[in-house]
């Protein structure tokens, strides 16, 4: 029986992905900053662990407690939308600490064991903001684009040892708590000078032509974890697939 460790399982993509893998017979190590009973089924194949990906001691403790795993899913992330001009550097650093450095630190924590075993898969969840230029998302897009470059390089580096790395690129998912979780972080990030520019953008997001569901993302993570063709990118959701096809020609 294979084991997956998933970060950021309290809601959204992480929670759906934990359920998806459990439903298919895997052992699931579901991590979140503050574990909450009841968010996942009671099962001897599910373990909840505390994990803050911005804290080295928390990473070490969670990886040690998890024991041997076959797949790491780096899903934990935070969002921010707003005019770059108004973005405090403290907010920029906060976003990068979780979305970029947290992913890199978690990956580095499991690579030695994967390399020694000659097997293992790392799935990094990014965003469709890496597939097309989107306004009011400069810092968020940069934090995710860094992981795209990181994963592409890592995939080549680790293939020598039989270890895989892949990307899942979700589209816009209204069902996640992106806005709610980032509310305080995003306060004041649309100054008066930007309101006329931002209004039609937010209006378009309120009635999207295509969206992504949390189940779309869970299925894409599953496909990435079980891929045998050496594929790097897995867009998730109809909108992400359309952007992916436009950028890569369906590759």
Q: Residue 39 maps to which CATH number?
A: 3.40.50.720
In whole angstroms, what is the distance from residue 138 CA to residue 159 CA? Answer: 31
Put the strands of the sheet holding 27-32 in their side by side order: 46-50, 27-32, 3-6, 71-74, 121-125, 164-170, 233-236
pLDDT tens digits along 123-169:
999 999 999 999 999 999 999 999 999 999 999 999 999 999 999 99
3-state DSSP call for residue 182?
coil
Terminal Cα distance for the chain, rounded: 32
Q: Clarify whether 140 is annotated catalytic.
A: yes
Whose CA is closest to 237, among 80, 102, 78, 129?
129
Range 8-33 average pLDDT: 97
In whole angstroms, what is the distance from residue 59 CA to residue 56 CA? Answer: 5
| Contact call for residues 49 and 106 (beta carbons, < 8 A) | no
* 111, pLDDT greater than 60: yes
Mean pLDDT of the chain: 94
- Please state the three-class secondary structure of 93-158 as a single string: HHHHHHHHHHHHHHHHHHHHHHHHHCCCEEEEECCHHHCCCCCCCHHHHHHHHHHHHHHHHHHHHH
Range 196-206 average pLDDT: 91
Query: What local confidence, expressed as pLDDT, does residue 184 receive?
Result: 62
Catalytic, out of 13, 140, 172, 194: 140
Query: What local confidence, expressed as pLDDT, does residue 38 receive?
Result: 80
Query: What local confidence, expressed as pLDDT, does residue 36 receive?
Result: 84
For 172, the domain range is 3-248
* 207, pLDDT greater than 60: yes
Query: What local confidence, expressed as pLDDT, does residue 174 receive?
Result: 86
In whole angstroms, what is the distance from residue 228 CA to residue 122 CA? Answer: 14
- Please state the three-class secondary structure of 67-111 as a single string: CCCCEEEECCCCCCCCCHHHCCHHHHHHHHHHHHHHHHHHHHHHH
Q: Is 43 left (phi over 0), alpha (psi -120 to 50) or beta?
A: beta
Query: What local confidence, expressed as pLDDT, does residue 40 receive?
Result: 92
Range 97-116 average pLDDT: 98
**Cβ neighbours for 201, distance < 8 A, ≥ 6 positions apart:** 135, 136
Number of domains in the chain: 1
Range 180-194 average pLDDT: 75
R_g (Cα) of the chain, nearest Å: 18
In whole angstroms, what is the distance from residue 243 CA to residue 251 CA? Answer: 12
């Amino acid at each position: 029986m294979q084991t997956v460790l998933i970060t950021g399982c309290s809601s959204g993509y992480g929670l759906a992905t934990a359920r998806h893998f459990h439903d298919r017979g895997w052992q699931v190590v579901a991590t979140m900053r503050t574990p909450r009973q009841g968010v996942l089924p009671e099962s001897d194949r599910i373990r909840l662990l505390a994990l803050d990906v911005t804290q080295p001691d928390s990473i070490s403790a969670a990886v040690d407690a998890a024991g041997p795993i076959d797949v790491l899913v780096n899903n934990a992330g935070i969002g921010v939308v707003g005019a770059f001009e108004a973005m405090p550097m403290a907010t920029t650093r906060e976003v990068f600490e979780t979305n970029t450095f947290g992913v890199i630190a978690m990956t580095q924590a499991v690579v030695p064991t994967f390399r020694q075993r000659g097997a293992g898969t790392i799935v990094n969840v990014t965003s469709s903001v890496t597939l097309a230029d989107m306004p009011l998302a400069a810092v968020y897009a940069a934090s995710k684009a860094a992981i795209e470059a990181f994963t592409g390089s890592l995939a080549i580096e680790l293939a020598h040892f039989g270890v895989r790395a892949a990307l899942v690129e979700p589209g816009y998912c209204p069902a996640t708590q992106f806005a709610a979780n980032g509310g305080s972080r995003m306060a004041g990030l649309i100054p008066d000078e930007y309101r006329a520019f931002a209004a039609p953008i937010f209006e378009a997001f309120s009635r999207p032509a295509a969206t992504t569901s949390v189940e779309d993302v869970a299925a894409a993570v599953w496909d990435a974890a079980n891929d045998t063709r050496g594929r790097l990118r897995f867009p998730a959701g109809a909108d992400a697939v359309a952007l992916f096809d436009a950028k890569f020609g369906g590759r």
